């Protein structure tokens, strides 16, 4: 048996703009029109987020604001419950906790970065220790089930109590990465 998720737009609720809705074929035994949400641009994601759809566009610009310059294709963070009802040209990164979206905290962004670039996530934490809520990051890593990724880049160095799961990169490699990031920041 397959679970099907869709959006239903009632007469009284018009929060979702029609331009991002894609109607599904209406089955004879289903009296309600069901929709999927299509998000192919930053503007589409913004419209959906304003309508309280748990999505967020994670891109290089967001990461750069947090002190890590690295270019990558934008990723769409989407809640697990609605992942199948959202279509997008962006690669989807599923979040188990949809409540973290559409306004993710710094710790949520670190978890997203772990899924994209583990070393980048470590650099984000290193550069933003002042705004890091260690307990929240511990919770987010466990809820999103990215503990092996966090252990690989030794996030336990910054988050005491974070369990270690699996092999970690050698400290010499992490020091080399820190030095490269430091020299890149001096150049910019």
d(CA 187, CA 181): 10
Mean pLDDT of 13-33: 71
d(CA 161, CA 164): 9
Say yes or no to pLDDT of 182 above 60. Answer: no
Q: What is the pLDDT of residues 104-161, one digit of tens each?
A: 999 999 999 999 999 999 999 999 999 999 999 999 999 999 999 999 999 998 998 8
List the one residue out of 111, 117, 63, 55 whose CA is nearest residue 88: 55
d(CA 150, CA 163): 9
Tokens linked to 98: 């949809």
**Average pLDDT along the chain:** 86
Output the pLDDT for position 177.
78
């Amino acid at each position: 048996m397959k679970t099907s998720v869709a959006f239903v737009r009632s007469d009284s609720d018009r929060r979702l703009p029609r331009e991002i809705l894609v109607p599904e074929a209406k089955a004879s035994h289903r009296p309600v029109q069901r929709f999927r949400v299509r998000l192919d641009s930053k503007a589409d994601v913004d419209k959906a987020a304003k309508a309280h759809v748990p999505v967020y566009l994670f891109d290089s610009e967001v990461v750069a604001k947090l002190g890590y310059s690295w270019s990558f294709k934008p990723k769409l963070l989407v809640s697990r419950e609605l992942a199948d009802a959202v279509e997008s040209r962006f690669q989807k990164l599923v979040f188990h906790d949809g409540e973290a979206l559409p306004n993710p905290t710094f710790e949520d962004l670190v978890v997203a970065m772990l899924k994209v670039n583990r070393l980048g996530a470590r650099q984000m934490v290193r550069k933003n220790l002042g705004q890091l809520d260690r307990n929240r990051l511990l919770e987010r890593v466990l809820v999103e089930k990215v503990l092996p990724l966090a252990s690989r880049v030794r996030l336990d160095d910054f988050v005491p109590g974070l369990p270690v799961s699996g092999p970690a990169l050698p400290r010499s490699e992490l020091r080399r990465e820190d030095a490269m990031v430091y020299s890149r920041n001096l150049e910019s």
